[in-house]
């Protein structure tokens, strides 16, 4: 697979297999810091009943829920899985793609696992994202950390490149999330390097900015990046300035 096709393939994720749009949900609102938990009456609009969402817990109970109208309309528990659920995506066809440290799997609404990839010994997988409905990309932490694109039908790896890490032996602390951007490149946040970087289809770093204690990053439609770290939530522009 050449770089051009790799970029096209990455771009499909934003057309056919995004997280399911919530029905009737409002635009994102600013978060107010409070010492007391928010109640439904504190939230805008109709409170929780106006904000459908998909929840995947990292707790040992390993539960996932689809919530609509304030009620859980679908749930899934993974009793046979091991490790922490670090990433999960609800696809437009209702399937759920999840990474749970020692594997990546695809679960259909009937709660049947239709595809699974086990992390090789000595590696961990904490993030996975869809590319269309036939491919998945994920980062495999390890003594050679790699980005992989796998065909879900043939199970064939169609693209792979190494990605740098600070400590090859410190597998658990290398990566938690990586996301495709609207421009078709991969944004990955290096936990043990304290920075966020974008990589093209050949694995070349094309943009980076420092992000100490980074935990999660989301590419925004305006080109900025929403960063979650130990100190809070920040929106960063392409000049690495907090807006």
pLDDT at 205 over 50: yes
Residue pointed to by tokens 């996975």: 128
**Alpha-carbon torsion, ordered 20, 23, 29, 31, to 10 deg:** -70
**Rounded-to-integer distance, Cα 18 and Cα 8, Å:** 15
Sign of CA dihedral 47, 48, 53, 54: positive
pLDDT at 60: 67
Is residue 197 over pLDDT 70?
yes
- Beta-bridge partners for 111: none
Between CA 40 and CA 51, with CA 45 as vertex, the angle to 5 degrees is 70
Is the pTM higher than 0.95? The answer reads no
Domains with residue ranges and CATH for the chain:
3-21+80-236 (2.120.10.30)
For the chain, the average pLDDT equals 81
pLDDT at 24 over 50: no
Give per-residue pLDDT as tens, 50-64: 788 998 877 766 788
Report the pLDDT value the prediction gives residue 182, as an integer from 0 to 100.
Answer: 84
For position 43, what pLDDT does the model report?
59
Higher pLDDT, residue 153 or 40? 153
* 84-107 pLDDT, tens digit each: 888 999 998 999 999 999 999 999
Phi and psi at 143, nearest 5°, equal -75, 0
pLDDT at 6 over 80: no
pLDDT in tens, 158-193: 999 999 999 999 999 999 889 988 888 999 989 889
């Amino acid at each position: 697979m050449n770089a051009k096709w790799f970029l096209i393939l990455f771009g499909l994720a934003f057309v056919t297999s995004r997280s399911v749009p919530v029905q009737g949900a409002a635009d994102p609102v600013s978060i107010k810091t409070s010492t007391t938990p928010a109640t439904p009456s504190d939230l805008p609009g109709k409170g929780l009943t106006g904000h459908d969402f998909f929840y995947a817990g990292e707790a040992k109970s390993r539960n996932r829920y689809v919530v609509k109208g304030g009620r859980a309309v679908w749930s899934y528990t993974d009793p046979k899985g091991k490790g922490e659920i670090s990433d999960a995506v609800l696809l437009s066809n209702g399937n759920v793609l999840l990474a749970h440290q020692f594997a990546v799997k695809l679960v259909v609404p009937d709660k049947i696992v239709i595809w699974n990839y086990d992390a090789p010994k000595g590696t961990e997988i904490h993030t996975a994202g869809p590319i269309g409905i036939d491919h998945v990309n994920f980062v495999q932490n390890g003594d050679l950390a790699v980005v992989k694109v796998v065909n879900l039908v043939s199970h064939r790896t169609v693209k792979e490149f190494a990605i740098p890490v600070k400590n090859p032996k410190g597998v658990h602390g290398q990566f938690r999330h990586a996301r495709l951007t609207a421009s078709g490149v991969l944004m990955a946040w290096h936990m043990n390097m304290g920075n966020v970087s974008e990589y093209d289809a050949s694995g070349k770093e094309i943009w980076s900015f420092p992000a100490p204690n980074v935990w999660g990053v989301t590419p925004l439609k305006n080109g900025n990046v929403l960063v979650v770290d130990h100190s809070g939530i920040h929106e960063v522009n392409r000049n690495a300035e907090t807006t």
